[in-house]
Amino acid sequence: MKNKNSELVILGAGMTGLAAGYVSGLPVYEAADIPGGICSSYYMRPGDHRRLYVAPQDGEAYRFEIGGGHWIFGGDPIVIRFIQSLAPVRSYYRRSTVYFPDRDLFVPYPIQNHLRYLGTKTAAQVLQEIVAAAKLNRPITTMAEWLEASFGTTLCNLFFHPFHEMYTAGLWKSIAPQDAYKSPVDLSLAIQGAFDNVTPVGYNVTFIYPEDGLNALAQRMAEKCDIQYDKRVIHIDVKEKVIHFEDGSVTRYKTLLSTLPLNRMIDMTGLHIDEQPNPAASVLVINIGAVKGPRCPEEHWIYIPQSKAHFHRVGFYSNVDVSFLPASARKNKDRVSIYVEKAYQEGEKPYEAEVKALCSQTVKELQEWEWIADAEVVDPTWIDVAYTWSRPGSQWKSKALKSLQQHDIYLVGRYARWSFQGIADSIRDGFMAGATLINK
């Protein structure tokens, strides 16, 4: 379908924007020079600082992702079928733990369902506190209050408080509770887990991942789209309905579908919302390719409540699939491909020298834990809006979306709608939005 006079425009070629462009044929404007957004893979050879967006023919490179491990969980079966039609996938069962460096202790995730690993005395104390907290029925407005009411003081002081301090970049005491399904509370499972094994629970117990990496899925979707790359939006004139790009070019629109973060859209349009914006956290993702250490975990990802470098999660790409390793290392598995996440409040992006120092400190700490030996690749990436949060009682999100809609700007996707969702749901939403636009 041709876009008459550029009346309909899509911003952002992440998974949602690609899906919208795929189903509609409308032009998609993307700030980067590749599709996929933070859900895209790249490759780096040991000793080479260049990012490759296509796997080298000899396979001698580590595979990483821009935004850390993005595994495909849940999703409508028809969307999963679409993904499989473009990029063959493999299925996996989650392996995840919590690690306490000071005790050198691993506890399976979710920690509240595996209390026996903490010892009989602590397990009994935690169970008593969970029961007592549930009976109080006290009002809850913040994430901190929800954690205390759900897990009690002992488990909060041990894990949830220090972890959320890092995960939310210090926002956990002022933001509203959300995404409770990520830490499911079930007293019967907590009791069972204090004595015996428990069936895995949570939204990501199983997941899939393309055999050739997320970049393969993004690129194959992009082949069916009309994408204009290197088009970073700097201003949107909502009165004249003109998009201004960093390269000096402009394009007009009648209706605009945006997948860009909601707060960035409000800034670029200059619209006034009579309420304080909801906060977001940025994340520094440090991708590491290294010689495997003698005590390297076998988990897919690990939650860290304390670390010298203040990172809150370590993920192991190559524990999910050996295809993340250089070809020569896949048989013996003597190398490891890792991502490490450290959160910041918006506007606190570290300087280049700080990032370099943090990378060195992170590598050193992982070496001290004997998870890795020599690091062959260390490559940091920055995700400006990574986690989105809401203030208690805030109407900012609904007001911002309504204000944009009044100017024929519609937002779709995880960051645009300011809510957590996975890749499959993002593709579904893109399909629906794209199909709706062309049928108006």
User: 333-367, pLDDT tens digit by residue?
Assistant: 999 999 999 999 998 999 999 999 999 999 999 99
At residue 5, the pLDDT reads 41
At residue 135, the pLDDT reads 80
Among 80-84, 131-135, 146-150, name the one with the lowest average pLDDT.
Answer: 131-135
- The answer to whether residue 415 scores a pLDDT higher than 80 is yes
What average pLDDT does the chain have?
94
Q: pTM for this one?
A: 0.94
For residues 70 and 214, what is the distance between their CA atoms, to the nearest angstrom?
8
- The answer to whether residue 146 scores a pLDDT higher than 90 is yes
At residue 180, the pLDDT reads 67
Work out the percent of the chain whose per-residue pLDDT is above 90.
87
User: 150-171, pLDDT tens digit by residue?
Assistant: 999 999 999 999 999 999 999 9
At residue 199, the pLDDT reads 86
For residues 19 and 431, what is the distance between their CA atoms, to the nearest angstrom?
5
Residue with the larger pLDDT of the pair 201 and 256: 256
- The answer to whether residue 6 scores a pLDDT higher than 60 is no
User: 261-272, pLDDT tens digit by residue?
Assistant: 999 999 999 999
For residues 211 and 87, what is the distance between their CA atoms, to the nearest angstrom?
7
- The answer to whether residue 290 scores a pLDDT higher than 50 is yes
Show Cβ contacts of residue 383 under 8 Å, excluding neighbours closer than 6 positions.
Answer: 38, 66, 67, 282, 283, 284, 285
Provide the phi-psi class of 243: left if phi over 0, else alpha when psi is between -120 and 50, else beta: beta
**Section 215-223 average pLDDT:** 95
At residue 144, the pLDDT reads 95
Helix, strand, or coil here: 365?
helix
- The answer to whether residue 403 scores a pLDDT higher than 70 is yes
Domains of the chain, earliest start first: 4-35+225-278+390-438 (3.50.50.60), 41-95+280-388 (3.90.660), 111-193 (no CATH)
Query: Are 363 and 406 spatial neighbours (Cβ–Cβ below 8 Å)?
Result: no
- Residue 2 — very low, low, confident or very high, per pLDDT cuts 50/70/90? very low
- The answer to whether residue 440 scores a pLDDT higher than 70 is no
User: 237-277, pLDDT tens digit by residue?
Assistant: 999 999 999 999 999 999 999 999 999 999 999 999 999 99
**Section 199-226 average pLDDT:** 91
